[in-house]
Amino acid sequence: MTNVETRWQKVHPGVVLALILTHVITAFLWDSPVLLVGQLVFLAVWLQIEGCLRRVLPFLGMGLVFMGMFFLVGPLFSSNGVTFLWKGPLVPVIGRLDLTLEEVVYAALSNLRLLVMLFGTMAYQWFVDHDRFLFQFARIAPRFVITSVMAIRLFPFLAGELQRITEVARTRGIYPSANPTFKERIAYGQFLLKPLLLSSLEGSWMTAESLYARGFGSGRRSFYRSVEMLDHEKLVLFVIVGIFGLTMFGWGLDFGRFATYPQLIWYDWVGDLMFLAVLAAVWSIPLMWLGRRNTD
């Protein structure tokens, strides 16, 4: 865990989640390329400042594959728009294959929203303490919370155990040949699976004994440790709600209005640029305030 993750995870999880959700939700309110690109750049700058943008690259490569598939399949198999870029053959059942400028722009805007969701998901993964977030619901659904926390921790536990078992096997000279065949890979995987299964069963037995010793399941809990929201976090949450209200107000005034079908119409790109400048300024307030208070 990096210092950045530790710093942001000290903030109340509800505040950080509200900040991230504000960006993700507002990405679906408008269709203007200026606002979508500006929002994407703002999230990228935030991750870059925190030193996490390079860690998005492996996930970004996977996302680009799905974006490319959507970019190719969507325009080719839909028949919308009037500005034709290419007219293909007539295919039975599917119809005529064609490509219009409106379809390409619509696919590009959808991919921009997908990138905003990807960056928001990565920010949630790194900046929100998942345990503290789930503990907010411990009083309402205690069994669900304890099961969720244990399930979330299961995958890192199995990955660590598999790495440990693999290293022990290598130190004892048990590893496949330099160029193993598919059958040898299967056999080696089955060999590692047995100690991994035994280790998992032992860990689950110890967890069950620990829960039983602490009285889990014997009755309703009488004590709940809740994460209190500090005064400056309440103020930032109020600011975030105000930012969302400002966004809705601008959306009601037709900022970000962009028609894709049946023909491309950009109503006011100058107004979108001005509105983006205002949003970028107010978006920076929670980041600077929370970052400064949790660095001191």
Q: What is the pLDDT of residues 112-121, one digit of tens each?
A: 898 898 888 8
Q: What is the dihedral of CA 261, 267, 268, 273, to 10 degrees?
A: -10
More confident residue, 256 or 224: 256
CA 114, 115, 118, 124 torsion-angle sign:
negative
Q: Which has the minimum average pLDDT: 148-152, 206-210, 280-284?
A: 148-152
The helix (run of H) or strand (run of E) holding residue 181 is none
Number of other residues whose CB lies within 10 A of the CB of residue 47: 20
Q: Are residues 282 and 169 both part of a single domain?
A: no
Write down the pTM of the prediction: 0.72
User: Per-residue pLDDT averaged across 70-89, rounded?
Assistant: 73
**pLDDT tier at 281, thresholds 50, 70, 90:** very high
The rounded distance, in Å, linking the Cα atoms of 202 and 260 is 58
Domain count for the chain, please give it: 2
Mean pLDDT in residue range 227-252: 89
103 & 44 share domain: yes
- Residue 221 located in a structural domain: no
The per-residue pLDDT for 160 is 83
**CA 155 to the chain's CA centroid:** 18
**pLDDT attached to residue 6:** 62
Q: Name the helix (H) or strand (E) containing 89.
A: strand 84-91
Residues 12 and 48 in one domain: yes
Which domain does 111 fall in, by range? 3-132+227-295
Last residue of a domain, one of 187, 213, 239: 213
Whether 54 and 74 map to the same domain: the answer is yes
Inside any domain, residue 137:
no
Residue 218 in domain: no
Task: Give the pLDDT score at 5.
Answer: 56
Q: Is residue 219 part of a domain?
A: no
Q: Are residues 49 and 98 in the same domain?
A: yes
* pLDDT-derived band at 185, boundaries 50, 70, 90: confident
3-state DSSP assignment of residue 116? helix
Give me the chain's average pLDDT, please: 81
Does residue 99 contact residue 75 with C-beta atoms inside 8 Å? yes
Give the tens place of pLDDT for each residue, 137-160.
777 777 777 777 777 777 778 878
In a domain, 110, yes or no: yes
Are 111 and 147 members of one domain? no
Residue 196 and residue 127 share a domain: no
* Residue 235 sits in the same domain as residue 256: yes
Residues 33 and 29: their CA atoms lie apart, in Å, by 12
Task: Please report the pLDDT score of residue 22 as a whole number.
Answer: 93
Judgement on whether residues 64 and 197 belong to the same structural domain of the protein: no
Same domain, yes or no, for 94 and 235? yes
Are residues 150 and 253 located together in one domain of the fold?
no
Q: pLDDT of 250-274, one tens digit each?
A: 998 888 888 888 888 888 888 899 9
165-173: average pLDDT: 84
From CA 208, how far away is CA 203, in angstroms rounded? 9
Does residue 183 sit within a domain?
A: yes
Query: Considering the domain boundaries, does residue 34 fall inside one?
Result: yes
Q: Are residues 100 and 184 in the same domain?
A: no
